[in-house]
Amino acid sequence: MERWHDLLAAQVAERPEAAAFSDSGGTAWSYAELSTAVEAVADNLRKVGVQPRDRVMVLSENCCAAVAAMLGASRIGAIAVPVNARMSAGEVDRILSHARPAAVLCTSAISPEAAAHAARLEAREISGAFGTLHLACLYASNPDAPEEVAVLLYTTGTTGAPKGVMLTHANLLFGGKSSAELRDMGPGDVIYGVLPMTHVFGLASVMTAAILSGAEVWLEVRFSAAKLYEALRRGVTRLAAVPQMHALVMQYAKEQGLERLGSEVLQYVSSGAAPLDPEWKRKAEGFYGVALQNGYGMTETTAGVCATKNSQLGDPDISTGPPMPGVEVRIDESVPGGGDGLGEVLARGPNIMLGYYRNPEETAKVLDAEGWMHTGDMGRLDARGFLHIEGRSKELIIHGGFNVFPPEVEAALNAHPQVVQSAVVGRRVSSDEEVLAFVQVVPGDAPDPAELMAFVRGQLAGYKCPAQIILVEALPAAPTGKILKHKLLETFADRLQEA
């Protein structure tokens, strides 16, 4: 198996009628039907002149057609560029102008946002075994990307130049295999696919891993605590999510009068994209009834760097576990804020991206001559070689000359029974930084900010305590559910006290 799309062949040969993917629009495909849909997409791309190494943007939300679109691009040697349809026109246009795709496919049948982009781009409707998509051809064929690249995943916000992470066929196959083995995935498993496949977690650790293992995926177009709760009660066996999703589904169940999920088939639950704290981990395990696994990775590392495989409920370990097989990790203590075992996390292995597309300058900033990826995350390795993430180096708050890592403050806040989740950031005050906490609370049962302040003062050193706690009904979040910390100060500007 050398190419990303090749992962389908084994399942089609061995179990063609087994359930593969279904989505919230009512589509359900076996592995044989998925393969037919992939070939139908490939045929449509060939007809409009897409060549190997051209880019094919897939403007989508989670659905069966999106899976077929991405693998269909790979089938003809083109490079899929998955982009979340919920991005604004400006964000999409910046990626378009950089990637210059020979074709754009929009999953318009299931996503109103994708349909809106399709109309704006004057895309035409196509149909086939994949269902209905909209196709636009905005740029001429220009096969300038490296031949080994399978996917371009753009890491971009609302400002700044987008960076296209070049993940190779080997990256995706390694990442998918590692995830499948870590979770003991196999035929008969049901995976809940709410993590967007336009992000590396959903693309590599869910979609690719599931196909490699012959599992079934229930795709959900976007996160809803009620829908996740219902799916867990219906028969999901393995769940990968981010902490915000776990927090919200637990709160939803509590509102239904249930403290425990009560599933007889759920075997694996993991949390990624943010550090854990012991109290929150204990609550989640009590709710799900299975050990909560943790992990660490990023887009540039094809999701996985480290992961736990604990078997015991109540294990106090909140590390991200040891490096995954074949991956190396070391700590660079020379960075600002480093020392005494703490420093920037560096990773190396077959999971590391090829580089940033058309951006050698940014590539050189993070990939050194020895192949180490400089992640920008701060962490330490314990005596077992397990990695503990302290926080993003760029999110480090230096208050009164002391280092304050937001996850530690968030853990203290999240331990309060009336807190759903929290986010902590720094704000410049003259020559110092102050700690600000934004806290999502239980609806109709909000604590007093002074009470919360007293609560955290009992757990943290004085310099780590927030200068202000802002209670909110919801925190700004990405489609993955990850809190968008860079939007907090702007979103709640009218609630902030003068610095």
Rounded to the nearest 5°, which phi and psi values hold at 360?
Answer: -65, -30
pLDDT at 461 over 90: no
Q: For position 156, what pLDDT does the model report?
A: 54
Contacts of 499 (CB under 8 A, 6+ apart): 427, 428, 429, 434
pLDDT at 480 over 70: no
Contacts of 159 (CB under 8 A, 6+ apart): none
Q: Are 273 and 307 in contact (CB under 8 A)?
A: no
Q: How many residues are given for the chain?
A: 499
User: Mean pLDDT over residues 34-60, rounded?
Assistant: 98
Separation of alpha carbons 250 and 265, rounded Å: 18
What would the pLDDT profile of 73-106 be if each residue is shown by its tens digit?
Answer: 999 999 999 999 988 888 899 899 999 999 999 9
Q: For position 218, what pLDDT does the model report?
A: 98
Edge-first strand listing for the sheet containing 419-429: 419-429, 432-441, 468-472
Q: For position 431, what pLDDT does the model report?
A: 60
Q: Which helix (H) or strand (E) holds 281?
A: helix 278-288
Q: Which helix (H) or strand (E) holds 402?
A: strand 402-404
pLDDT at 395 over 70: yes
Separation of alpha carbons 286 and 291, rounded Å: 9
Q: For position 412, what pLDDT does the model report?
A: 87
User: Mean pLDDT over residues 492-496, rounded?
Assistant: 90
Indicate the pLDDT class of residue 402, thresholds 50, 70 and 90.
low
Helix, strand and coil percent figures for the chain, each rounded to 5 = 35, 25, 40
Mean pLDDT taken over the chain:
91
Indicate the pLDDT class of residue 157, thresholds 50, 70 and 90.
very low
Separation of alpha carbons 210 and 192, rounded Å: 10
Q: For position 337, what pLDDT does the model report?
A: 79
Q: For position 159, what pLDDT does the model report?
A: 38
What's the predicted TM-score (pTM) here? 0.84
pLDDT at 499 over 70: no
Range with top average pLDDT, 61-65, 91-95, 192-196, 453-457: 61-65
Please give the domain boundaries of the chain with CATH numbers for all domains.
4-170 (3.40.50.980), 223-393 (3.40.50.12780), 396-495 (3.30.300.30)
Q: Say whether 80 sits in a helix, a strand or coil.
A: strand
User: Mean pLDDT over residues 248-271, rounded?
Assistant: 92
What would the pLDDT profile of 406-442 be if each residue is shown by its tens digit?
Answer: 888 888 898 898 898 899 998 987 667 899 999 998 8
Query: In the structure encoding, which two tokens stand for residue 123, read together?
Result: 């895309």
Separation of alpha carbons 273 and 202, rounded Å: 12
Indicate the pLDDT class of residue 160, thresholds 50, 70 and 90.
low
Q: Say whether 303 sits in a helix, a strand or coil.
A: coil
Q: What is the dihedral of CA 364, 302, 153, 394, to 10 degrees?
A: -60
Q: For position 44, what pLDDT does the model report?
A: 98
